[in-house]
Chains A and B, each alone.
Chain A
Amino acid sequence: MRVSLKEWTKSGEPWVWLNAGAVAICMIMVVGLLSLIAVRGLGHFWPANVYQADLVENGNTIRLAGELVDSENVPAAQLRDSGVAVPEGAEFMQRDLLKIGNRDVGGSDFIWVLDEFLENRSQPEMMFAAERREWGNFYGYLRSLKENGQVVASYDGYEKNAEYMQLWNRFQESIDRALELHDEIVEIEKHEIGAINYELERLRLKERSLQLKEVTDQSRYAEIDQRRKELDAEYEVLQKQLLDLYTQFNRDSFTAETAGGKTLEIGVSKVVRAFLPNNMSITEKVVHYFAKIWEFMSDEPREANTEGGIFPAIFGTVMMVILMSVMVTPFGVVAAVYLREYAKQGFVTRLIRIAVNNLAGVPSIVYGVFGLGFFVYFLGGHIDDAFFPEAKPAPTFGTPGLMWASLTLALLTVPVVIVATEEGLSRIPRAVREGSLALGATKAETLWKVVLPMASPAMMTGVILAIARAAGEVAPLMLVGVVKLAPSLPLDGNYPYLHLDQKFMHLGFHIYDVGFQSPNVEAARPLVYATALLLVIVIALLNMSAIAIRNHLREKYKALEM
C-alpha cells in the first residue's frame, strides 16, 4: 500500500525520522572528529615523497622541492583580484601547500603555489631529507662530506649510482657517530653538570639559612666552602671533557645543493636524521614510520616544540595525575563513606549531597582561580615563610608548581570520586551488611572487611573517571603550574628526587601552546594532531575501562540482590 504524503505527514513519521537523523548526525560527528584527529595525527610520521618541480610564474622559473601537504580550490576571480595571471575561463584553481623546508635559505618552510604553474614534476631518487636541530627540515642533493674541513667523499651528478650510495653511506655513518656523541654530551650537560649545579644551589641555600639563623660556628661555613671547592673541581673536569666532546662532535660537515641550485655547508652535528624518501621501499618506510612514532613518544621537543617528541609532556601529565589520584582517592572515599554510612540521613546530608554533585559542574577555571589564590599565594606563601626563608625572595612553593596543580585537580575531581563511591556503597545490599553485623562484627569491621571490598570496583570507577577528567583538563592548570617548556622533569636523580615545587609540561596544555602560541603554526600542526590523538586514546581507554568495571560490578551484585 502506497502512502500519500499527507497521510505520511499526519502520522508523525517525518518527526521520528528527523529524530533518528539527529542520532545519526551525532554519531557521524563523533566518528568524524575521531577519524580526523587519527588521520592527521598518524599521517604526519609517514615519510612522504619529495617532489621537485619548476614554478613558472610571470616568466620567472624557480625550481622547488618539497612535500605536498595540502591542496585546496580557490575561486579564480579572487586570484585575479590579487593580481595573479590566471588563465582565462578557469573558475577554480588548485592551490597546493608545499613543505619546502630549508628555512635557513628561503625564510619560510611552507609555500602555497598554484598547481597550474608547476612544470617538470619529478621525484628524484637522490633527493634527501634531513631533520635538523635548527632551521627545520632540509631537502636537497648531497654533494660532499667533510672531516675537519677536508673533503672525504663527494659526488656531483643528479643520477643515483654506486658512488653516490657510497657517499650516502659515509654520511649516515657520520650522522650515527654524531648522534652518539650528542648522547654523551647530553648525559654530561644535563645529568652530571646538572647535578653539580643543583648541589651548588643547595649549598648556597644552606649557607644563607645558616646566616639567617645567625650561626657563628665557622666550621659549618668551612664545611660548605670545602664541598663547594670539590664541586668546582669536578665541574672543571667535566667542562674539559665537554669541550673535548664538542670538538669531536663538530668535526664533520657536509655540503648539499638545494633544488634551487644553492650549495650550503651544514654541520653533521646539526642533523638528527637523514633519509632518501623517494628511494625507500614500503618496508623501509614502515620502519621509518614506527621509528618516528617512537621518537615522538620518547624524545624531548626541539625547535620551540614544533619538532621532536613530547616525552616531558607525557611524563608531566602522568606525574600530575598520579599525585592527584594519591590525594583524591583516600579523601573521596572517606567523604563518601561518611556521607553514606556515618552521617545522619537527613535534610543537611541531602543538601550536602546536592552541593557535592553540583560542584562537579562548576567550571574548572573557577578551581584554577581558587588554586592560584588559595594554594599558591596563600598556602604557598606561608609555607615559604615558614620553611624556605633562605630562598627568599625567590619563591619555592609560593609559585605555581606540580604540587599545587595536583592539589587543585584533586579538589576538582573529588566530587567525581565521592559520587561514584557513594553509588557503589548504595548498591551493596542491606542483607550483606546486616549479616556481618549479626555475626557480631562492629560497624568498622563490617565496613573494612565487607562493605569496602565490595565497593572497591565502584571506587576504582570513580578514580579512573577522575583521572580521565584530570588528564584532559587544561584551563585550571594554566593558572597553577603548567609551562610550555620545563627545563627538567619533576622526577630526577637529585635529592629529594621528586620536585613538587617544579613547573611541568602537560599534554593538553602542549596542544594549546603549540597550536596557538607557536611561531610556526604550519609546521607544528601535525604534531598537535598527533598529541591530540595520544590524549584522546589515553582518555578513551581510561573511560572505557571505567565503564567496563562499572558493568562488571553491576553484574556481580545482580546475583546478590536475588
Chain B
Amino acid sequence: MSIDNTNLATELDFDTPAAKRLRKFRAFKDKSASVGIAFGGISVIIAILLIFFYLLYEVAPLFHSAEIKPWQVNGKAAAPYEAPGRGKTVYLTMEEQAEIGLRVTDQGEIIFFDTRSGDVLQQSSIPVPAGAEITSFALASDASHIFAAGLSTGEVLAIKHSYKATYPNGTRVITPFIEYPFGEAPLAVTDSAITELALNGGEEAWSIIAKTEQGLAVANLSFEENFLTGEVETSIDTEMLPQLNMPVKKLLLMPDRRWLLISGNNNKLAVMDLASADTETTQVLEASSGNITSFQLLLGGNSLMVADDKGNISQWFLVRDDNNVWRLTKIREFESGSKPVNAMSMEHRRKGFATVDSEGTLRLYNSTANRNVLVEQVAQGQADSIALSPRSNALLVEKDNTLAFWLINNEHPEVSWDALWGKVWYEGYQEPEFTWQSSASTNDFEPKYSLMPLAFGTLKAAFYAMLLATPLAICGAIYTAYFMVPALRRKVKPFIELMEALPTVILGFLAGLWLAPFMETNLAGIFVCLLLIPLGILAFAFAWARAPKHVRYMIPEGWDTVMLIPVVILTTLLGLWIAPGVEAVLFAGDMRQWVTDDLGIAYDQRNALVVGIAMGFAVIPTIFSITEDAIFAVPKHLSYGSLALGATPWQTLVRVVMPTASPGIFSAVMIGMGRAVGETMIVLMATGNTPIMDINIFEGMRTLAANIAVEMPESEVGSTHYRILFLAAFVLFLFTFMVNTLAETIRQHLRKKYGSL
C-alpha cells in the first residue's frame, strides 16, 4: 500500500453529521412506513371484518331473553306499597308511560295512583244509582280502555279510562280522567242482578252478555247520532239466549260479537254462535286437565288463553274446518311449571302475555313464537293479580293488598327458532303454515316472520338459474379450454368474462320488461327451441361428419363453434316459426292457456323460468371462467399421454382431464351458486316478489335478498322486523361466505396438486 493511493480519491466519510442525520431520518421514514402501512392495512382488514360482527351485533338482541327488575329507589329495590283503595281488585292496569296505575275494586272505587310510590292521584267511585250494588265486572279489551260493571238492578255501566298529557314548563304531566262511552246513566239490560258480564264491540255497535238468575241475556247496542243536535242516541235490543245445561263461571265475547265463550265448572268450556239461527251452542269441550283458573282473550280478541290449576296454559282459536264449520281448536300449549296459574295479563301491543303462579313465579310468553322469554320469582307465595303496561315495559304485581312495581325489558319475544324456520299456526289459518307477512294496517296484527318461504324462494331461484347455467357454462368451458384453437380462445374468453361485469339491473330489467312478456306469448316456442337446438346441432354435426373431405378440410378443427353460430340462430328461428303449429296440435292453440286450464298450474308472467334464464345469464360467466381455468390448468402431458395410448380426444377428456379438473369445476359451481343466491336486482325485477312456497316453474317467488331490498327502507330502526332483516342478511352472508371459502380452499388445494404434477 502506498501513500499515493490514499490521495487518489478523497475518502468518503459516511459518518459526517449530515450523513448521520440523513441515515437517521431514512431509518425513521422506514420505521414509520412500516408502522403506518401495518396500521392502515390492519384497520382496512378489520373494517371488512366489521361487517360480520356488526350484523351479528344487530341480530343478537333477537335471541336475548327478557329481563325484569324491581323499581329502584336510591339504588335499592323499592319496597311494595299498600294498594290504594278498599276492597278486592277487579281490574288493574297502567297508562301508556306506565307512570299512572289504575285500580278498580269490587267496592266500586276507581283509583288512579302513581305506580312508583302508590300515591293516590285521583279517586272516584263508579256512579251506582241508589239502592244498587255492583255484582259483576267485565273488561272489553285492554286496548279499548273500556270496562263495565254489572249491577244488582240488572243495569250495566261502561267506563273508559283516558289520559291527557300536557307540557307545562316543558315537563310532561299526565292527567287521568274517566269517560262513559254509553252515557253516564246505567243501561238497563235485564231485570235481575247481573252475576257475570261480558262486552265487546267497536265504533258503531256493542254487545253485552249478562248472566242473571234467568239465564244468559244478550243486549245489542247501537248508536245513532242526531244530525241536528249532535247528540248520540243509544238503543238497546235485548233477548234471552237459550238455556245452557252447564253452570257459567265466566263469559268472554269476541270482538266480532258473534262468538261467546263460556267457562263452566272445572275444565268445561262452551262456545256459542250468536249469529246462527237459534243461537246454538256449537261446542262443549274439556279445555284442560285441571280446573280453569284464568280465561282471557289475547290481543285482537281472536285467541283464547286458558290456564288451569295444574299449570297448563293453552291457546285456542276458531278454525274453519273442511266442512266450513268453525271449531274452537287448541292451537298450542305453553311450557310452564306444575303449579296452579293464578293470574294472567295480556300484552297490549303484541301477541304476548304474562302469568303468575301460586308460588309467585312470573312467566312471560309470546304466543306466536311459543316462546317463554322469562321465568322469575316476583312474589313470595301466591300473587293475586298482575298487570302489564301498554308498552310491556312494566309490571304491577298485587299480593296481599300490596303492589310492587317492576320494570321489564322484553324487546323481541316474537322470534324463536320455531317461529323463523318452523311451521306456525297463525290466527285465522286452517293449519300451521310457513308464512312471511311482516306488516299490516292494523295494530293487533300478528306478524308472520317465517324465513322459510324466503329461503325456499332463494334456493328455487338459484336452482333454476343453475339448471340453465351449469350445463351451458361447463360445456362451453370444456370446449373453450380443450378443443378450441388458441386464436379463437383468446377472443372468446375475455368476451364471455366481460358479461360478468354486466350490471344485473340491466339483466333484471330485460327479464322483467322484455323476456317475461315475450315468454308469455312464445311459451311453446321456448320449449320447442330447448328441444330443437341440441337436435339441430347434432344433425349439423353428423351431416358435417359425412361431408366430403375437401369440404371438411376447408375449416380446421377447433373452429366448430363459429360454424355452429348460424346453425343455432337458424334453429331458434325455425323453432319460433313452427311453435304456433306445435301449439295448435299439442296444446289446443295456446300453451300458456293450456298450462293453466289443463295442467291446473298457476302461471305468473314473471316466473321462475324467467328468473332462471336471466340469472343463469348472470351466473354463466362466473362458472365458465373458473371452470375454463381449471380445465386449462390440467397439465398437457397427461392428455398427451392418454392420446398417445390411442384414446380419442373425448375419451381423454372424460377419463383423464375431467377427473383431474373436477374439484375446480365443483368450486366453480359453488361460486356460481353463491352468486345466484345473493343476487338481488334480477329477482327483484323478474319475479312477482310474492313469498310463496311452490316449486312450480311458472310461479314467482321472493328471495331473501329481494325481501331485504323491498322491506328494509320501511322497517323501523331497532324493531323486530328490522333485526330479522339483518338476520336475513346475516344468513346470506354466512351462506355465501362459507360456500365461497369451501370453493376457494378446493381451488387452492387443486393448484398445489397441479404444481406437483
For A77, give the chain B residue with the smallest CB separation. Answer: B589
A420 vs B580: C-alpha distance in the bound complex, in angstroms?
Answer: 51
Q: B421 within 8 Å of A by Cβ?
A: no
Q: B30 within 8 Å of A by Cβ?
A: yes
Write 27 A-B pairs (CB below 8 A) sorted by A numbering: A17-B564, A20-B537, A21-B537, A23-B479, A24-B564, A24-B565, A24-B567, A25-B472, A25-B568, A28-B569, A29-B617, A77-B590, A92-B580, A330-B40, A335-B44, A355-B48, A361-B678, A366-B51, A366-B732, A370-B729, A411-B47, A443-B30, A474-B505, A508-B503, A515-B509, A535-B506, A543-B501
A92 vs B648: C-alpha distance in the bound complex, in angstroms?
Answer: 51
A415 vs B685: C-alpha distance in the bound complex, in angstroms?
Answer: 27
Q: B726 within 8 Å of A by Cβ?
A: yes
- Tell me whether A415 and B564 are in contact (CB under 8 A): no
List the A side residues contacting B585 at CB < 8 Å: none
Q: Encode contact with B along A454-481: 1 for CB under 8 Å, 0 otherwise.
A: 0000000000010011011111001100
Size range of the chain B interface in the assembly: 35 or more
Q: Point out residues on B near A: beta carbons under 8 Å.
A: 26-27, 29-30, 33-34, 37-38, 40-42, 44-45, 47-51, 54-55, 58, 471-476, 478-480, 483-484, 492, 494-496, 498-499, 501-506, 508-510, 512-514, 521, 533-534, 537-538, 540-542, 545-546, 560-562, 564-565, 567-569, 580, 589-590, 617, 620, 624, 648-651, 653-654, 671, 674-675, 677-681, 684-685, 705, 708-709, 712-713, 717, 725-726, 729, 732-733, 736-737, 740-741, 744-745, 748
A19 vs B506: C-alpha distance in the bound complex, in angstroms?
Answer: 28
Contact of A411 among B48, B480, B513, B712 (CB under 8 A): B48
- Tell me whether B589 and A547 are in contact (CB under 8 A): no
A468 vs B521: C-alpha distance in the bound complex, in angstroms?
Answer: 35
A320 vs B540: C-alpha distance in the bound complex, in angstroms?
Answer: 51
For the complex with contacts A30-B498, A354-B741, A369-B708, 9 further pairs of A-B residues with Cβ separation under 8 Å are A14-B538, A18-B537, A25-B568, A335-B41, A339-B45, A366-B733, A465-B501, A474-B503, A544-B498
- Tell me whether B509 and A370 are in contact (CB under 8 A): no
- Tell me whether A365 and B533 are in contact (CB under 8 A): no
List the B side residues contacting A468 at CB < 8 Å: 501
Secondary structure at chain A's binding surface: helix, strand, loop or mixed?
Answer: helix
Q: From A4-12, A139-147, A281-289, give the one contacting chain B.
A: A4-12
- Tell me whether A16 and B560 are in contact (CB under 8 A): yes
- Tell me whether B712 and A479 are in contact (CB under 8 A): yes
A451 vs B541: C-alpha distance in the bound complex, in angstroms?
Answer: 53
Residue of B34, B37, B649, B733 with most partner-chain A CB within 10 A? B37
A292 CB to nearest B CB, Å: 21
List the B side residues contacting A365 at CB < 8 Å: 678, 680, 705, 708-709, 729, 732
- Tell me whether B37 and A334 are in contact (CB under 8 A): yes
- Tell me whether A19 and B483 are in contact (CB under 8 A): yes
List the B side residues contacting A356 at CB < 8 Å: 45, 48
Total count of chain A residues near the partner, CB < 8 A? 103
B713 CB to nearest A CB, Å: 6
Q: A104 within 8 Å of B by Cβ?
A: no
Q: From A55-63, A128-136, A372-380, give the one contacting chain B.
A: A372-380
- Tell me whether B534 and A445 are in contact (CB under 8 A): no
List the A side residues contacting B737 at CB < 8 Å: 358-359, 361-362
A451 CB to nearest B CB, Å: 12
- Tell me whether A445 and B492 are in contact (CB under 8 A): no
List the B side residues contacting A15 at CB < 8 Å: 650
List the A side residues contacting B533 at CB < 8 Å: 21, 25
Known A469-B501, A472-B503, A472-B505; judge A20-B479 contact (CB<8 A): yes
List the B side residues contacting A445 at CB < 8 Å: 26, 29-30
Q: A495 within 8 Å of B by Cβ?
A: no
Q: A414 within 8 Å of B by Cβ?
A: yes
A392 vs B737: C-alpha distance in the bound complex, in angstroms?
Answer: 39
A22 vs B481: C-alpha distance in the bound complex, in angstroms?
Answer: 13
Q: A357 within 8 Å of B by Cβ?
A: yes
- Tell me whether A30 and B496 are in contact (CB under 8 A): yes
For A22, give the chain B residue with the smallest CB separation. Answer: B475
B163 CB to nearest A CB, Å: 24
A19 vs B476: C-alpha distance in the bound complex, in angstroms?
Answer: 6
A141 vs B537: C-alpha distance in the bound complex, in angstroms?
Answer: 55
Known A19-B483, A511-B506; judge A369-B55 contact (CB<8 A): yes
Known A365-B732, A443-B34; judge A515-B41 contact (CB<8 A): no
